Structure formats: C-alpha cells, structure tokens
Structure 1
Amino acid sequence: MPHRRVPAPNRSNARRMRRGMTDAERKLWRELRAHRLMGLGFRRQMPISGFIVDFACPEYRLIIELDGSQHGLPTATLRDRTRDARLDALGWQVLRFWNDDVLGDVDGVCRHIVAAIDESRRV
C-alpha cells in the first residue's frame, strides 16, 4: 500500500492519542500488537484520509473502532456512519465494538476480527 503524506497536525494528534489510550484500547492492543493475533499486523491510532482510526490492519484494509457511550448519541451515530461510508469508499472495512465488549469479552472481539479477516480472504 503506498504511503501518503500525513499532515503534521494529524500526525501529532495520532501520537497524542497513542499516549492516552482508553482502558479498552489498551486491552485490545495487548491482543493485537506484535502480530499476536494470527500473525496479523495492526497499527494503532493510524491516520487514514483525514481520520485517525483506533486500529488498522493495512494488509486486509480492516479498521477496528472502539466506541464509548457517547457514540450512542444520535449525532455521533450519524457522524460515525458518514465516516464509515467514506472509509468504505476508500476500500476499508470498519468493525465497531463497544468498549464494554472489549473489557468484558476480548476473546469474543478477537474471534469476530478473525472471522472478518477470514471472510475477506475468501473474496
């Protein structure tokens, strides 16, 4: 995948977000980092087309977003759908999980991620 220049403010914001991860992000990152999940390479707080996504597997163009309760508000839901549609148009698949799902059942979340990767391999 070709590298695109990331504007300095986005790069700085992504670094700041990496240092301030939520408990759910830290828990999932422990499962994803260093190719621990099926040898898949994930990046955290990765800038993509003006957005900073929580986790991305560039090889399979898969994005993982972890959502807190604020994402349940109507305005946030609409904003998330618009963002997901834009990323989808760029060829990325977006999976969203609630923070509580990660904190309560990280293995189930990982199984869902693996299933999505397996499905994309079949296409």
Structure 2
Amino acid sequence: MSSNSHYNKSLRTFAKALRSESTKAEVRLWCEVLSKGKTSYTFLRQRPVENYIADFMCKELKLIIEVDGYSHNLKFAEDEGRDKNLEKLGYTTLRFKDEEVMKDLANVERTIRCWIKDSQV
C-alpha cells in the first residue's frame, strides 16, 4: 500500500463491517454508478483514510464520495471539519444526501461525472 493513499490499517475491520451494513442509498450508488469501472476509474467502498472511513474513494482522482443519511443533519460541523482535514491531504469530498441518491440518481451521477471531467483539465 503506498503511503500517499493515507490508508489506516487499524480501521480495516471496522470498514469491513460497514461494507456489510451499507445503506440502500450507498448500495444503489455503488451498483448503478461507481462499481466495476463504470466511471472509468476504480472506486473502493468504505475505505480507511487517515482517521476516517470514506464511503467511496478513488485513489487516482483523490476523490471521496459521501452519502449522508439523516444522522448527518446533526453533524454538519463535524463533517465540515472532516472534509477540511481530507482536503489538506489532497482529497476532494463530494457529499450527497440519501434522498438525492434514491430520488435523483441521474443528477448525482451527472455531478460525479462532471467533477471527474473537470478535474482532468
């Protein structure tokens, strides 16, 4: 594992447990948009990064995608701090609400694809 991926081995077991407890929105985003190179990039699920576990991460793009359920409504400051810490490591975080993924997946996919396209410039 390259050191620049900021992989945290100590969170591996917890990340594996989270993969088996994915939300419906996470499963939908994974199956319909991010799995098997559908974006032409490899995304990993529930990936330990520093002291966090990213819902989805593409090491090549240094992109993290988070799907926020209801509990995140109460964690705005915490999520903002997390995103800033990850940004210092060179990562960009895109956040979507569960509801967006379930009710407007086409727009979520368009947002991700536009970010990927724009990051290639």
TM-score, length-scaled by structure 1 = 0.90
d(CA) in 2 for partners of 1:56, 1:92:
9
Contact 2:7–2:50 (CA<8 Å) still a contact in 1? no
- What amino acid sits opposite 2:2 in the alignment? P
1:94 has 2:93 as partner: yes
CA RMSD of aligned residues (A): 1.4
* 2:54 alignment counterpart: 53
In structure 2, stretches of 5+ residues that fail to align are none
Residue matched to 1:32: 34
The structural deviation recorded for 1:6 is 2.7
Match of 1:104 in 2: 103
Structure 1 unaligned spans of 5+: none
Secondary structure of 1:18's match? helix
Alignment of 1:1-123 (within 5 A): 2-3=2-3, 6-8=8-10, 10-30=11-31, 31-37=33-39, 39-73=40-74, 76-122=75-121
Q: 1:97 to 1:5 in 2, by over 3 A?
A: closer
- Aligned-pair CA distance for 1:99: 0.3
Among the aligned pairs, what percent are the same residue? 36
Structure 1: which 4+ aligned runs deviate by more than 3 Å? Answer: none
CA distance in 2 between partners of 1:5 and 1:27 (Å): 25
Deviation, structure 1 residue 69: 1.6
Q: TM-score, normalised by structure 2?
A: 0.91
Cα separation, partners in 2 of 1:42 and 1:5, compared to 1, 3 Å: closer
1:5/1:80 CA distance change after superposition, 3 Å: closer
* Cα distance between partner residues in 2 of 1:5 and 1:97: 23
